[in-house]
Structure 1
């Protein structure tokens, strides 16, 4: 590995790694005998996605909020700052705390060490060896840049995403790049970077934040559409869990149509030209998107089915094993027909909300009746004390996992790895760790065991239509799509205040063309022959990134519903004239002084 350590690659499924230091972009590796090698086409809709998330790696998170995962895959980053006067509850507040943690190298030192050690090449090797063929990698916008006043460590996570591409290529894995955290926040949850309110397609900064996000989607799309990377990064999840029920489905659809046009401008049309464009269902349910953008080239819809945040029950796994098939099988099967490729971007083995920080730092659990007025259901201890689980309990979890995999068909388990707590020295959310489940004996050692478990509920009649996979007819979207969902939408919800898009702040695409850095390769005593690309696939795409208009007024991007500036433009008092984006006051307690604890 990069640090000089070695490990033995074990793959019982006929997979093999391949790496040529003289030509490091070679695509010969194969994850398993039944998975096409990287230099062949993965037939989505026929070949099943069996994947895991690399949660908590490039977007660390301690907790989340309602209807999504709550705990953090990397609790050790946050635990030192839980009891400070400025608790770390998201990456924003973590970053402020780390700026003062000079003993460990500050923000840059701690975060770089986390990126370097939490996920390594060995994890990619183990994932392929576990019979899996995809990884979903959450990435925040600060991998590209930050604006003044935003505390995130910029650029560095992109360096490690490039490592992920290299390691995935080496072991025959394909990547779903998930744009996980947008400026302003697309859902108000902590994994969007900052806990608070929705500010994308909602509120006075909703249009401006969406514009900025679309600009970053363009930059990412131009990079991953280059032929050096398109065989590895085959799916682009353009926005993780947008709170569509707050934004409005028409507004979200307009954003999705615009993003599709941006990505296909970068990639071109047809199989082999850039990634599948993956839309989250916005919590409307996949059925509500049936027929959306019929004829579009390689689009997919994503849902994150969890049961653990619903009504709590002490009923054991062994008596609930029909739930995945009955709840999800028909829904996903129908969507494969009515929409096209349908994925479960996240799911887990948890059937209750027991676990460290499941509902927030310092909050209790629904199950134990210590959270949000819920009645007591039972004691969480036996549900998380995996070191004392007996074989029967482990087998029941494995059967739950197999039923879930069968029902969902194309899936990404959340998550591959959960870090140990610095307090207890062990994983405190065991039902969420695929790796721990393999080590402990409650995850299937061969995910193909799931095939047929939900028969006949989940039996999609493959293949997908030709246009859905980049074949004949791909890209022939209905002419009414742009008219039905114009960009920008006419209104952006801003309850109690002005909502006409024309009356809200906007940015301008005059900020220059930003390209992402390409990987660098070195090899001892050899000549590296590899064209890593320019970072921009379509030279005819000359649209620049969004930036502030120097004569216009803006609010804090995470402000929430309020009155927009009046007038929007023309008043230059207080505006910068040096070409830099404006810094905004952070409406929160002052960060602790250096050295405080």
Structure 2
């Protein structure tokens, strides 16, 4: 076990009560021969049945008692009814056996000194450690010094049609009159497909099987210490006309917290899908128009989104969860160039206030807050949010959607170091913690539905999403990973290592990809970390990346004290706050904010529930709300106001805005492909 001190917290012993056998022989006179027969039968039964069973039981109990806190054979688990199934160990390392909630087992493989820890009678214990070089969850993660090496769990709680996630969910409905192209249309198709179980059964079957506890164990065993988990707003609630399955995704996010805690992995919760869509892409929930900070519903949708950010922040800032969910990406990939940096900065500053209002200022109070760069670039944010408490920038450096080239990996190995390393180094100094929330091994856009359902690929000239892209080559050599030779795999691995070193703190997109229901295999291999490990093009130890780029001007840690919650944290100058006050004066493609529909803060707040524990009722799982003094109500529609559909697109604002009787306009724009920044 490597002598880790955290195993001392295990319970001292788990011995079963000793079985004791008692028998009384009562012989009432009788015929001597019959008495002899009775004695022979009883003695035979005792020595062939009772005595061996009793000895076996006692030996088992003695073994458990002798093992005490050093038992590492299997994971402590609870049955579905909440009763302990057996007296199992609560911790272990490489080679130990894990017993999952449903009773299945697997061997924990972690050659890096990682130890898991789970005791159902102490479910919020943070003693687990992903690897020997990664601080345990009950230790301080030193941002800027300790390196984030993570993967996304893409396609799990936010489904996406592209093959790098879960194509089988969408393939079933792609040849219908209204093909499923995003989770909105998928939800509608599933709801109508009652023969297959409808929406809830089909989607929950996906939640149950796509990512499991074993994935978290494998992630730790791969030398990775973080996961980034996309979460949609419908994990909290849905409103009128929205077809998404509400609240169920949250139940599985709670499982993710439990599994991450068990294996010492920290979580970056990424608010991935916002009401109205923050970017118009399929992963925002609905393919089509941008309706957050853009268009006539831009401010109302932003108000609603900020409320959801507050609800999430209140939950994850509770002491039971803050050390596991250690980072919060408040909005994934907003269209910064469309909505404008000033409006986006105003929104981000209000999101910051909501998160810190839930958690408080200072080290250890709530999560690191991650702001996506909005495709403006890291350099464009230098100097923003001065003295803000634990804020970071999020960059998604993909090269596969740019100009296409037939050049092999061997000629592209210098791209990450030359393109990304300097920018990351500079941003770590000019802003603070800067992470790559997404990147992949893809150097072109080949792969089933990488660009969207039936949109084709730029590389082979079939892309129909806009623009003109000439034929470069066939995609099959890039997607048929079964034909890759060792030389190509070695080049891909070197490309991955260069990317990791250049980006420093990163989350690969994505951990796993579902098989196509047509071909039965992964159809976009450059996006799967797990497949790369299995097939030999991803490094088995990500530390191999250190020094690959040989940067001439590397970031010199540590970060500034205020950047990690130390001295001066949270003291944002009033001049900055006033320059980016919420709400912004104007909304892009809509005009003055004062002339647009807004919500009123009079609704009830949908507090997120805590997990149901199988242990004693005395254990506090939190009530979902960290700051009891945060009593503001929810932003909801005004009963006497006209509102366009939240997903309406860039149409004229309703006029007059308020009248009686109440009226709701349901004008909805047709889905279109939003151009990439």
TM-score, normalization by structure 2: 0.83
Distance 1:284 1:315 in 2: 28
- Map of 2:177 onto structure 1: 85
- Map of 1:234 onto structure 2: 326
- Map of 2:574 onto structure 1: 479
The alignment partner of 1:76 has SS state of helix
- Map of 2:433 onto structure 1: 341
User: Alignment partner for residue 354 of structure 2, among 262, 267, 276?
Assistant: 262
The alignment partner of 1:81 has SS state of coil
User: Alignment partner for residue 464 of structure 1, among 554, 559, 579?
Assistant: 559
- Map of 2:96 onto structure 1: none
The alignment partner of 1:179 has SS state of strand
Distance 1:586 1:368 in 2: 34
- Map of 2:187 onto structure 1: 95
Shift of 1:574: 3.5
Distance 1:457 1:98 in 2: 54
Higher relative contact order (CA 8 A, sep 6+): 1
Distance 1:99 1:154 in 2: 13
1:407–1:457 contact (8 Å) kept in structure 2: no
Distance 2:668 2:116 in 1: 47
Q: Does 1:569 align with 2:651?
A: no
The alignment partner of 2:496 has SS state of helix
2:641–2:663 contact (8 Å) kept in structure 1: no
Q: Does 1:177 align with 2:177?
A: no
Shift of 1:570: 2.6
User: Alignment partner for residue 404 of structure 1, among 476, 499, 510?
Assistant: 499
Correspondence 1:21-32 to 2 at 5 A: 21-32=120-131
User: Alignment partner for residue 429 of structure 1, among 509, 524, 529?
Assistant: 524
Deviates more, 1:455-464 or 1:301-310: 455-464
- Map of 1:146 onto structure 2: 238
User: Alignment partner for residue 132 of structure 2, among 20, 26, 33?
Assistant: 33
TM-score, normalization by structure 1: 0.94
The alignment partner of 1:393 has SS state of helix
Q: Does 1:59 align with 2:151?
A: no
Correspondence 1:108-119 to 2 at 5 A: 108-119=200-211
Deviates more, 1:179-188 or 1:375-384: 375-384
Number of positions where the alignment pairs a residue of Structure 1 with one of Structure 2: 569
Structure 1 runs (4+) greater than 6 angstroms displaced: none
1:22–1:529 contact (8 Å) kept in structure 2: no
Q: Does 1:490 align with 2:595?
A: no
- Map of 1:594 onto structure 2: none
Distance 1:30 1:95 in 2: 38
The alignment partner of 1:255 has SS state of helix
Runs of at least 5 residues in structure 1 that lack an aligned partner in the other structure:
64-70, 576-582, 590-597
- Map of 2:509 onto structure 1: 414
> Which structure would you say has the larger Rg?
2
Shift of 1:587: 5.8
Shift of 1:159: 0.2
Aligned-CA RMSD value: 1.3
Correspondence 1:303-452 to 2 at 5 A: 303-372=395-464, 373-452=468-547
- Per-residue CA deviation, residues 79-118 of structure 1 (Å, 9 max, x unaligned), is 0110100100000000000001112210000000000000
Correspondence 1:161-240 to 2 at 5 A: 161-240=253-332
- Per-residue CA deviation, residues 522-556 of structure 1 (Å, 9 max, x unaligned), is 15xxx365211111000111111111100111001
Q: 1:85 to 1:587 in 2, by over 3 A?
A: farther
User: Alignment partner for residue 107 of structure 2, among 1, 4, 8?
Assistant: 8
User: Alignment partner for residue 642 of structure 2, among 553, 557, 568?
Assistant: 553
- Map of 2:228 onto structure 1: 136
The alignment partner of 1:7 has SS state of strand
Shift of 1:459: 2.5
